[in-house]
Amino acid sequence: MGDVKLLDCTLRDGGYLNYWKFGYDNIISVFERVVSAGTDIIEVGFLDGRVEYDRDRSIFPDTKAIRQTYGGLDRKNTLVFGMIDYGTCDLENIEPCAESVLDGIRVIFKKHLREEALAFCGELKKLGYIVFAQLVSVTAYSDDELKDLCAIANKVKPDTVSMVDTYGLTHQKDLKHILKILDADLDKDIAIGYHGHNNFQMGYANCQTMLAYSSETDRTLYVDGTLYGMGKSAGNAPIELVAMHMNHEYGKNYNISQYLEAIDANIMQYCIPATWGYNLFYFLAASNDCHPNYVKQLTNKHTLSVMQINELLGRLEGEKKLLYDADYLEKLYVEYQDREINDAAAIEKLKAIFDGKHILVLGPGKTIQTEQDKINAFIKSESPMVMAINYMPEAYKTDMVFLTNAKRCIQMAYPLSRKECPVIATSNVTAPADSFDYTVNISDLLDKNSEYADNSLMMLLKLFIKTGVKSVSLAGFDGYSGTDANYLDEGREYEFAKKKADYLNSYMSGFIKSVKDELKIEFITETRYEI
């Protein structure tokens, strides 16, 4: 029986939808999540000598440019590949593999170029790369042409020959016919791959057919997928579905939650939602055998990562799974957030760090920009320790970040991976890679009498009191409006904030007044909170 392996090509094939301009943070986050999922290979983009390097794009002029983007990242056990559309990138743009970030290169080529393209594959092998020969529009090959292709490949010996169903025309019977020809005629050491498109919604089904063929061959078989099926034309096989199938049927252990996190944080923005069809929302409901309203209720909180939503849905029990009960889920949510850890050592360290210091906390409100001169003047005159909550503002040097929101953590993947400053995280937030610098018990900071028990500013103020801080200044905590945008970055807006603006302002005003004898609080910028 042959081994089966999974390749993600989101950053390459998905780039057809956005001109490969994912943005640097998204590129890094997708890479880290796909690697953390345990994917066998990640294809990080095109090599194309006609373009200039742009760190926001996943298309590169040469292998040196790829190193600029991915050189410092932890690839764990995942192999890193690039792709060349034959004729668009010369060998002079390709370093020897020993000097490159890339482990392998896939070369796509049309039928009439097969002889020249496979010769090019041979040159890449001489440079030390793992090489995949990708047969563009494999359905255009006759049986004799496939046999001819195999004869040429057997002389060059690429590591893998892959069927590319460029126009999504292949059905399972067609795929198996092509697969059998390749299996019969290719050298036994050459693996076979499949890259499908979803024009007939056959991508996932064809991947299953391809994988099932492992019982009929000793070859290694590769299947491609992309996050959420993002890709050219009708898209690709969704990697999260293929990985789930491989876990169930082939004993693999891909971390599906990492794929879901990447879809939610990095890919959904490129998807124009339809009113029917496959989507992440219904995937979460179906995979947890629960009512879709549970997913909606948790998603609308905007405080949980998809991984955490998945974990929480897994706690639904019995008939409650399909009989939607909002109060029941809210109880589970509070219990889930209320995670106990031993944070005594972290608290003692923070007491020492905060001792004698005046602290300026930066929030995400519009005044962080509109009153920037006032904030800078305060920083210059007072030299405070500067902290930020759930983000890292670009306009200010931040000494520490307080992180309470798992979804915001995903959105901060790049600065967190760079370790630009220490991070204090509450115990409900899972670190994307290494542990946080300080993790504190969220259960000690929640206000279970509030409608929103995990208000981030409230929790930070409680932490200050617990660690002996005597005074703090706040900037960018504008309070909430029922009509205007509540954040400098409108993408951070919570759905409930405008509806609950009066309650949120009243609650925070009351909390600040209730702790005034323990903590002196000063607002540097304008606020709707009454103090």
Tens digit of pLDDT at every position of the chain (531 positions): 899 999 999 999 999 999 999 999 999 999 999 999 999 999 999 999 999 999 999 999 999 999 999 999 999 999 999 999 999 999 999 999 999 999 999 999 999 999 999 999 999 999 999 999 999 999 999 999 999 999 999 999 999 999 999 989 899 999 999 999 999 999 999 999 999 998 888 999 999 999 999 999 999 999 999 999 999 888 999 999 999 999 999 999 999 999 998 998 889 888 876 656 677 888 888 888 889 899 988 887 777 778 788 889 999 999 889 889 999 998 898 888 766 678 899 999 999 999 999 999 998 888 999 999 999 999 999 999 999 998 888 889 999 999 887 777 766 766 666 667 898 988 888 766 567 889 998 888 888 787 777 888 999 999 999 999 999 999 999 888 777 776 666 666 666 666 778 888 898 899 999 999 999 999 999 999 887
Q: Where are the beta strands (DSSP E) in 269-378?
A: 359-362
Q: Report how far apart, in Å, the C-alpha atoms of 434 and of each of 353, 403, 417, 418 are.
A: 22, 15, 9, 11
Residues 71 and 37: their CA atoms lie apart, in Å, by 19
Residues 111 and 149: their CA atoms lie apart, in Å, by 9
Domains and CATH numbers, the chain: 4-270 (3.20.20.70), 280-337 (no CATH), 344-523 (3.90.1480.10)
Q: Which residue has the tokens 């960018």?
A: 476
Residues 368 and 373: their CA atoms lie apart, in Å, by 10
Whether this prediction's pTM lies above 0.75 is answered by: no
Question: Phi and psi at residue 341, in whole multiples of 5°?
Answer: -135, 165
Residues 60 and 58: their CA atoms lie apart, in Å, by 7
The two tokens of residue 475 are 């900037």
The alpha-helical segments, DSSP class H, found in 21-87 are 24-36, 63-70
Buried b / exposed e over 270-292, threshold 16 CB at 10 Å, is: eeeeeeeebebeebbbebbebbe
* 83: Cβ contacts below 8 Å, ≥ 6 apart: 9, 12, 43, 45, 46, 47, 105, 106, 107, 108, 134
